Chains A and B, each alone.
Chain A
Amino acid sequence: QVQLVQSGSELKKPGASVTLSCKASGYSFISYTINWMRRAPGQGLEWMGWINTNDGKATYAQDFTGRFVFSLDTSVNTAYLEISSLKMEDTGIYYCARGLNPADYWGQGTLVTVSP
C-alpha cells in the first residue's frame, strides 16, 4: 500500500536550520511528484511547492522562496525539505503529499517548533 512516512518532531531555535524527510513506499517513486504543505497554528493548509521526482526540479509557492529547499534521494525513495534561518513563524506541521492534481496520499506530518 502507498505510504509516506515523515521524520519526527523538531525543536529548533531561531536562526537554525532543519531538514525534514518523507520516505515513500508502495509505488514507483519517480512516477509522482511530491508536494510539501504546511499547517501553522490556527491557520489553514498552505501549499509550499513541489518537486519533480524525475528530474529533481523544484517549484516553490510565492511565500516559500529563499529559505526553503526541496531535494530528493531517489535511491531511497525519499524527499527532503530543508528550512534555513528558521523564524518563529515557521512553527507548524509540515506535510508531504503525493501528486498534484490531486494530492492523493499524505504523510503523517512533522511538527517543527521554533522557539528561543
Chain B
Amino acid sequence: SYDLTQPLSVSVALGQTATISCGGKNIEKRNVHWIQQKSGQAPVLVLYKDVNRPSGIPERFSGSNSGNTALLTISRAEAGDEADYYCQVWDSSSYVVLGGGTKLTV
C-alpha cells in the first residue's frame, strides 16, 4: 500500500506564509490533491493535480511536488485559513489514499 505522511500541526503568524508538507515515496510521479476542512464544515478541494486551484480558491493557495514531497503553500495567511488540511493521491492498489491531516493554526 502507499502511505502519505503529514505533520500533525503547523503554526503561522497572520500575514505570513504557511507550508504544509505531504511525504510519499516518489510522490512527484503522482497527482497530489489538497483538501481543506474547517471546523464544523464540509471538506473543500483547494488544489488539484499538484498546482491547480478550483474556481473560487484564492491565489494565495499554491502547490508544488518534487521528489518525495508535495507542498501546499498558503501566502499571506488569514484567520479564515485555520483548518485541517489533507493531501490525497490515487494509488492503483489502495485507490484513494489520504494523508493523516495537518492542523493549521493561524
B interface secondary structure, majority:
strand
Whether B43 lies near A59 (C-beta < 8 A) is no
Stretch in A12-20, A23-31, A42-50, A66-74 touching the partner: A42-50
Taking residues whose C-beta sits less than 8 angstroms from the other chain, chain B's interface range is 20 to 34
Whether B100 lies near A44 (C-beta < 8 A) is yes
Whether B37 lies near A103 (C-beta < 8 A) is no
B43 touches which one: A45, A50, A100, A101 (CB < 8 A)? Answer: A45
Total cross-chain contacts (CB, 8 A)? 60
B37 CB contacts on chain A under 8 angstroms: 39, 45
How far, in Å, is B43 (CB) from chain A's closest CB?
5
Whether A103 lies near B101 (C-beta < 8 A) is no
How far, in Å, is A4 (CB) from chain B's closest CB?
9
How far, in Å, is B25 (CB) from chain A's closest CB?
18
Provide the B52-70 mask, 1 if CB < 8 A to any CB of A, else 0: 0010000000000000000
Given contacts A44-B100, A47-B96, contact A101 B31 (CB under 8 A): yes
Whether B86 lies near A44 (C-beta < 8 A) is yes
Closest chain B residue to A60 by CB distance? Answer: B95
B33 CB contacts on chain A under 8 angstroms: 101-103
Asked whether A56 is an interface residue with its Cβ less than 8 Å from the other chain, the reply is: no
B31 CB contacts on chain A under 8 angstroms: 101-102
Asked whether B14 is an interface residue with its Cβ less than 8 Å from the other chain, the reply is: no
Where the two chains meet, the residues of B that have a C-beta atom closer than 8 Å to any C-beta of A are 31, 33, 35, 37, 42-45, 48-49, 54, 84, 86, 88, 90, 94-101
